[in-house]
Amino acid sequence: MLSPLQTGLSVGLGALAGAGLAAGGFAYAAMWPASEIFGWALKAPPRPGELALTFDDGPNPAWTPRLLDILNIHNVRATFFLVGKYAEAEPELTRRIAREGHLLGNHSWSHPNLAIKSAAKVDDELLRTCKTLQDITGQRIKYFRPPFGGRRPRVLRAALELDMTPVLWNAITTDWREPSADRIAERLMRRIDHLERLYWATNIVLHDGGHLKLGANREPSVQAAGQILAKYKHTHRFVTVDAWDPTVT
């Protein structure tokens, strides 16, 4: 028979273990891109041979124009998930992205982890960005990528209330801190080829901007995008994420 002390310790350890499991479960549901516990998000369909290049945290006056030049050389359209405050600061660059046929998406106003923000903050981050992008480009914004992938039911519901489809990914590296374009490209190419063997399309995340400051150095990411385009342009079809949206008829 357990003593009161042993019983208390057992109960306490059980509660801690339960809390740890609950915290781990929330983290997986909120942050892991493959999780659909809190709701569905567009990633990539079983369509091998298709690639979507998506870029986060711009527009970036230092590197987004160079990226746009590379995409134009290859005649490829990409998806840009823009930070609202940077779009407001760079309206002409934002217009250029739209004018050249790329798909614009909402990446929140200031790039917080929305999984842990209040409902009022979530609504403001999404609505303010939608309004700013629409005012600048005249286009309705239909797609939303949560910063860091962070979401919970309230975040996904806020996106749907604005008639936006949530978008995550199935191919990413730490390109925002990796100094080597070759390593970024190599890791993504391995992922693309792996998904291809599994008969999946690839939704690639790279960063043309940095959420901590406007004008972040993204030379390795931009060069890696060029390498991916050069390798796959004759064997694969590059698409924007709306090509995979099951709600688009």
What is the per-residue pLDDT for 7?
46
Q: Is 207 a catalytic residue?
A: yes
Q: How far apart are CA 208 and CA 64, in angstroms?
A: 6
What is the per-residue pLDDT for 199?
98
Q: How far apart are CA 90 and CA 204, in angstroms?
A: 24
Cα Rg of the chain (Å, integer): 20
Q: How far apart are CA 246 and CA 104, in angstroms?
A: 18
H helix count then E strand count, the chain? 8, 7
Do 202 and 52 contact (CB within 8 A), yes or no?
A: yes
The CB density around residue 78, as the number of other CB atoms within 10 Å, is: 26
Instruction: State the pTM of this model.
Output: 0.89
Query: Domain 50-244 is classified in which CATH homologous superfamily?
Result: Glycoside hydrolase/deacetylase (3.20.20.370)
- Per-residue b or e along 31-46, where b marks 16 or more CB atoms closer than 10 Å to that residue's CB: eebebeebbebbbbee
What is the per-residue pLDDT for 104?
98
Instruction: Considering the candidates 107, 111, 207, 211, report the single residue annotated as catalytic.
Output: 207
What is the per-residue pLDDT for 249?
61
Taking alpha carbons only, the member of 54, 97, 81 closest to residue 211 is: 81
Instruction: Considering the candidates 56, 57, 175, 208, report the single residue annotated as catalytic.
Output: 56
For 40, list phi and psi in degrees, rounded to 5: -75, 145
Q: Which residues of the chain have pLDDT under 70?
A: 1-26, 249
Do 80 and 218 contact (CB within 8 A), yes or no?
A: no
What is the per-residue pLDDT for 24?
62
Q: How far apart are CA 10 and CA 6, in angstroms?
A: 6
Sign of CA dihedral 63, 33, 39, 79: positive
Q: Where are the domains of the chain?
A: 50-244
**50-58 vs 202-207, strand pairing mode:** parallel
Burial classification of residue 208, based on how many CB atoms lie within 10 Å of its CB (0-12 exposed, 13-18 middle, 19 or more buried): buried
| Contact partners, residue 98, CB within 8 Å, separation at least 6 | 104, 137, 139
Q: How far apart are CA 112 and CA 148, in angstroms?
A: 8
What is the per-residue pLDDT for 75?
98
